[in-house]
Amino acid sequence: MNPELAENIEIERRTQQRVPVAIFGRCLLANQLEVPCQAMDISQDGLGVAAGHSPIIGESVIIYLDHVGRIEGTVIRVFDNGFALMIHASPRKRQKLAAQIDTLKSDMENANTVERRHERVQPKDTNSTIRLADGSVHSIQIVDISVSGAALKIELKPAIGSQLTLAGMQGQVVRHLDWGFAIEFTTSISDQAMSEQRH
């Protein structure tokens, strides 16, 4: 690693604390490969990204995030199913990003309040199937489910952002887990349907 990149990494680590988020987007790699991705945390200086294809340390990438826009940066860390990005931006762009992050924090706090009102439950029948966008069907076990999403146990791990159907509900993969992955429903399950799922 070159000294300049190492110094930038240390600067990025000392800067503002990142805010946990779950924002979908597209990542354009240096080789022009475009892959779906999800921002996991963000600050004015850095970004944690989950993606099915990870670039190499030192690579320049461009990310287009929903509700945020274009972000350019250099990869400073790579981990399983993702990477960390040091953001390159003008002072004006950082100021705009700071305002967007404040809005995201507020939205996340409101979402967490809503989520706490909708407990996660284990369904009466945990065995089910998912249908992926390519039409393939796979058996899964529902670990828990809420009005907004579910955690599924399966060896298969579709890319973050992949579309699928679970029990007639449209959703997309938002997080990989050691034993499977989590999905977020496109539309929330009704309270009546949730009550029917309880033991």
Cβ-count burial of 145 within 10 angstroms (0-12 exposed, 13-18 middle, 19+ buried)? Answer: buried
Residue 198 sits at φ, ψ, to 5 deg, of -70, 155
Q: Does domain 3-116 have CATH number 2.40.10.220?
A: yes
pLDDT the model gives residue 17: 72
Q: What digits encode the pLDDT tens for the residues 146-182?
A: 878 888 999 998 888 889 998 778 899 988 888 899 9
pTM to 2 decimal places: 0.53
Q: What's the CA gap between 181 and 164, in Å, rounded?
A: 12
Average pLDDT, the chain: 80
